[in-house]
Chain A
């Protein structure tokens, strides 16, 4: 029991949900590896003096909260990436994978890191269930938040990029900003937001992500 923290949690080989090994697990083997043996996470307390950029995204109210600590060298390469997360299996795995992607081969430049898309992380994880996709969206946002923090600390305010709008429903052309506006306008549930924006009306697969956003903005503005 004494040093269990250092020990990876072992899953059964191949299949966790069935003992006969005949059926598949909920996630790909890559997700499973990063979930049971997450890389680069910070155990317990963080010594923030060791890092020069900090990013945060999400809140426990919406089920995922992610914090990242980066060390950026003088050539603007990310040489260290540590994280903590409160989240489900795919949130843990996608953050772990992102930390590997950002720091491998000498580390990404800030421009490279800023252009990471959720799809890139998902591709490396060999896929995530559709309804889990929003979890890895968080991670790229946290990286961009940390990079802005670095520019703030190094007084390069002109290089900061305010988070662009994110297209939530390409069919109805609704962005996260539209949903934020709808919530601020008093639409506090899916029905009300749909009345204002038509989000997901012809595209129901995105509804879980929309509900997540509604909850996030509701929590943010109305507590």
Chain B
């Protein structure tokens, strides 16, 4: 195969390409409308109408009411607003907060901030070896003084689907029995939105975060579902936008782009899954069969159809990432070398793996435009690159981690 012009983008969990229909609708808005959605004149009203339409659609997408949707500037902001906003407003009822060991940093670091700087007590529930949290362990962590509980719907590194609905249902039952009165369940659904049906009622959540960059929408826009009656303390101040909880002039173009992207997701989610699942299986099989000393990270079945995460023993992920890059294959690694903190993936460590296995983890996340030919190309290119890096490596990982 010709490697010169290959462009195999397998990093959709980092960002999806923006759908052309989304780009078009945003461009049209930017040309036609100049008003501030908060202004009391016709131009402002036109922007406001577009904003309301988008809000109604996002609400419908999540099975919520329009007044339960807040727009934010990113998924990270949605997560932060949910966790900091609820924990702070509820501090008079209790200062115990709960999350899992595999959350995105947008959740984990917000939780750790509350613990380190604001006197909260944090319980981090470990996950099982397959990368899925045991719902019972989360429920057992809940106490009378627990407020925010955050469990992601799909993990961003290993793609495992978490039992959020089961946890939410049980919390509702606890509340009916007079327990856990101040608990609000939050879920980070960023990596789920493009692949799973999301219904806030079935998930029994109070708070849910989604964003544009993982659903073929624009980057820099997110939404937070806030169930009626769930109070939040704002993080920013100075305006009445988004009920005063997220003040600031709304980026209406991005918001309608986001809503359009979700509309497309709704139409083709099932077809996308049918397209992706066999490709995912082919890539997993291809890697595990053609490269010795590899392991699949995360449950094989309970994972979204676009995620492949493998640890390739005895090598360091950044080096492999750069060798793959040279062949036109774009992936991601849990190696410390590509993270700003120089810490290896906390998710792979949470599976009970040692540092060297986390350093050698590679994530391939497929997307709508991924073809079978792309997968064949990866399976062909990967083994010699792995063999070269292994040959110059002095490290031999203990076989118990991959056999």
A: residues with CB less than 8 A from B are 1, 4-5, 9-12, 16-17, 19, 26, 35-36, 38, 41-44, 60-67, 84-89, 91-92, 131-132, 191, 208, 211-212, 215, 219
Provide the residues of chain B in CB contact with A219, threshold 8 Å: 355
Q: For residues 362 through 403 of chain B, which have their beta carbon under 8 Å from a beta carbon of chain A? A: 384-385, 387-388, 391-395, 397
Q: Of all chain B residues, which has the CB nearest A89?
A: B322
**Contact: A41 with B359, CB < 8 Å?**
no
Provide the residues of chain A in CB contact with B397, threshold 8 Å: 60
**Contact: A1 with B384, CB < 8 Å?**
yes
**Contact: B325 with A63, CB < 8 Å?**
no
Q: How far is the CB of A204 from chain B (nearest CB, A)?
A: 12
- Which size bracket describes the interface of B in this complex? 35 or more
Q: How far is the CB of A171 from chain B (nearest CB, A)?
A: 20
C-beta contact mask, B330-346 vs A, less than 8 Å → 1, else 0?
A: 00000111001111100
Q: For residues 289 through 332 of chain B, which have their beta carbon under 8 Å from a beta carbon of chain A? A: 314-316, 318-319, 322-323, 325-326
> What are 30 inter-chain pairs, A to B, with CB distance below 8 A?
A4-B384, A9-B385, A12-B4, A61-B354, A61-B356, A63-B316, A63-B335, A63-B337, A63-B342, A63-B344, A63-B355, A67-B394, A84-B393, A85-B392, A85-B394, A86-B315, A87-B316, A88-B335, A89-B318, A89-B337, A91-B316, A131-B340, A132-B337, A208-B340, A208-B341, A208-B342, A211-B341, A211-B342, A211-B343, A215-B355
B169, CB-defined interface residue at 8 Å = no
In the assembled complex, the Cα of A61 lies from the Cα of B315 at a distance in Å of: 12
Provide the residues of chain B in CB contact with A10, threshold 8 Å: 326
**Contact: B394 with A17, CB < 8 Å?**
no
B176, CB-defined interface residue at 8 Å = no
**Contact: B343 with A5, CB < 8 Å?**
no
In the assembled complex, the Cα of A61 lies from the Cα of B359 at a distance in Å of: 8
In the assembled complex, the Cα of A215 lies from the Cα of B395 at a distance in Å of: 18
B116, CB-defined interface residue at 8 Å = yes
Given A60-B359, A85-B393: A35 touches B322 (CB 8 Å cut-off): yes
Provide the residues of chain A in CB contact with B336, threshold 8 Å: 63
**Contact: B319 with A84, CB < 8 Å?**
no
Provide the residues of chain B in CB contact with A12, threshold 8 Å: 4, 326
Q: How far is the CB of A145 from chain B (nearest CB, A)?
A: 14
B7, CB-defined interface residue at 8 Å = yes
**Contact: A16 with B322, CB < 8 Å?**
yes
In the assembled complex, the Cα of A64 lies from the Cα of B393 at a distance in Å of: 10
Q: Of all chain A residues, which has the CB nearest B342?
A: A208
Provide the residues of chain A in CB contact with B343, threshold 8 Å: 211
Provide the residues of chain B in CB contact with A87, threshold 8 Å: 316, 319, 337
Most chain B beta carbons < 10 A, residue from A9, A86, A92, A191:
A86
User: Within the complex, which residue of B326, B355, B356, B384 is in contact with A11, where a contact is CB–CB below 8 Å?
Assistant: B326
Q: How far is the CB of A199 from chain B (nearest CB, A)?
A: 15
**Contact: B342 with A92, CB < 8 Å?**
no
Q: Of all chain B residues, which has the CB nearest A27?
A: B322
Q: How far is the CB of A84 from chain B (nearest CB, A)?
A: 4
Provide the residues of chain A in CB contact with B356, threshold 8 Å: 60-61, 86
Provide the residues of chain A in CB contact with B323, threshold 8 Å: 9, 36
Q: Of all chain A residues, which has the CB nearest B323?
A: A9
Q: How far is the CB of A194 from chain B (nearest CB, A)?
A: 12
In the assembled complex, the Cα of A91 lies from the Cα of B320 at a distance in Å of: 13
**Contact: B392 with A38, CB < 8 Å?**
yes
Provide the residues of chain B in CB contact with A64, threshold 8 Å: 316
Q: Of all chain A residues, which has the CB nearest B380?
A: A1
In the assembled complex, the Cα of A65 lies from the Cα of B344 at a distance in Å of: 15
**Contact: A60 with B387, CB < 8 Å?**
no
User: Within the complex, which residue of A26, A38, A84, A215 is in contact with B322, where a contact is CB–CB below 8 Å?
Assistant: A26
In the assembled complex, the Cα of A89 lies from the Cα of B397 at a distance in Å of: 20
Q: Of all chain A residues, which has the CB nearest B338?
A: A88
In the assembled complex, the Cα of A89 lies from the Cα of B337 at a distance in Å of: 9
Q: How far is the CB of B374 from chain A (nearest CB, A)?
A: 16
Q: Of all chain B residues, which has the CB nearest A208?
A: B342
Q: Of all chain B residues, which has the CB nearest A212?
A: B342
Q: How far is the CB of A205 from chain B (nearest CB, A)?
A: 12
Given A44-B391, A60-B359, A84-B394: A191 touches B335 (CB 8 Å cut-off): no
Q: Of all chain A residues, which has the CB nearest B387?
A: A5
Q: Of all chain B residues, which has the CB nearest A12?
A: B326
In the assembled complex, the Cα of A35 lies from the Cα of B318 at a distance in Å of: 11
